Amino acid sequence: MNLNDITESDAIKSLIIASAPEKKSELLSLWDKYEPTFSLKGDSLGFSMSVIFDSVVFDHKTMCQMWLLGFAAQKSLHALGELSSNSSAPNSLYLKYSQDFNVLVDSVLKLKSVERVEDFLWPDNTPKPYDGKPTDVDGSMVFDLICMSGAYCFLHEIKHIMFGKSNTQISIHDEEMECDRFAREFLLSGTAEYSMSEGYNSELVSSKRAMSIALSSFFLFVITPREKWGATDTHPPIKERILALSEYTSFDENDYFWQYFSGLSLALVMRNQIPLEQQVVVSHKVFCLSMIELLDNAI
């Protein structure tokens, strides 16, 4: 097949199936019933991904913002690792990774503020999406998380289409939470079955997919102005959406998922210069949720 013949809908369908192969039949059934369509529009200011007339509309610039944020998140994970290895004081590697994180987040916000990707200077030492999957272990992990995070976002929008076509009447906030729930369960509910059939470690598969959802949650904190982190006319508080993910999962309190999310949360607290008192870290989960609380209280 000529790549030029692949539609946006085909590409998104393939992305979701690759992210949750065990749900292929379920996805194809939903596709036949609700016929979701996807439209790649020209670049514009801001972040663009929404449902317009039963079609998910997005642009290339938005996908690039999500890409850069995935690499920023990896820097925050490395920073947390360096901090954990030297609890007496932040060392030079921690500061370096923190600076790298801020540089990439600055790049995301700069990209958001321009009209076209062509108007943006790509940050040094960061792969570009059209270069394909990085060959190093670190870059390969980021690539997988970005792809699954994108699948989560598109699944969220598909649920909006399903609500519209079934004439479901619920509040705007409830609809957002239900779209999160649908996307979350689509990616996470079948991991045991998939892992058993493929001979993978089920806990690791679940952790990785949940990390991709954490990345999407983290993305909300970055692209949303601080004064809108709480409830707005159109969206529930970011904290409430994150707690729904926390309550759904049953990972060990020091699981990779919580380590990843702790790094993201701490980096955001420090970036926003939110006062942080010294504390004894009893687990990554407890620490992460305390950082989320700080972010929520800083509105």
Do the domain assignments include residue 79?
yes
Domain that holds residue 148: 3-216
Cβ pair 43, 115 in contact under 8 A: yes
Do the domain assignments include residue 141?
yes
Do the domain assignments include residue 121?
yes
- 93 has pLDDT over 70: no
Tell me the whole-structure pTM to 2 decimals. Answer: 0.94
Do the domain assignments include residue 95?
yes
Q: 138: which 2 tokens? A: 């670190």
Q: 265: which 2 tokens? A: 């949360």
Do the domain assignments include residue 25?
yes
CA-to-CA separations, 114 to 104, 111, 118, 198, in angstroms, rounded: 16, 6, 9, 44
* Range in 4-13, 213-222, 281-290 with the lowest mean pLDDT: 4-13
E strand segments, the chain: 37-41, 49-52, 55-59
pLDDT-derived band at 86 (thresholds 50, 70, 90) equals: low
Do the domain assignments include residue 225?
no
Sheet holding 37-41, edge to edge: 37-41, 55-59, 49-52
- Between CA 216 and CA 299 the distance in angstroms is 20
Alpha helices by DSSP H, listed for 114-167, are 137-165
Nearest to 131 by CA among 67, 175, 183, 88: 67
pLDDT-derived band at 219 (thresholds 50, 70, 90) equals: very high
Do the domain assignments include residue 114?
yes
Do the domain assignments include residue 194?
yes
Percent of the chain with pLDDT over 70: 95
Could you give phi then psi for residue 26, rounded to 5 degrees?
A: -65, -40
- 112 has pLDDT over 70: yes
Q: 192 exposed, middle or buried (CB, 10 Å; 0-12, 13-18, 19+)?
A: middle
- Between CA 128 and CA 134 the distance in angstroms is 9
Specify the number of domains making up the chain. 1
Give the mean model confidence (pLDDT) for residues 115-127.
93
- 201 has pLDDT over 80: yes
pLDDT tens-digit readout, 2-17: 344 578 999 999 999 9
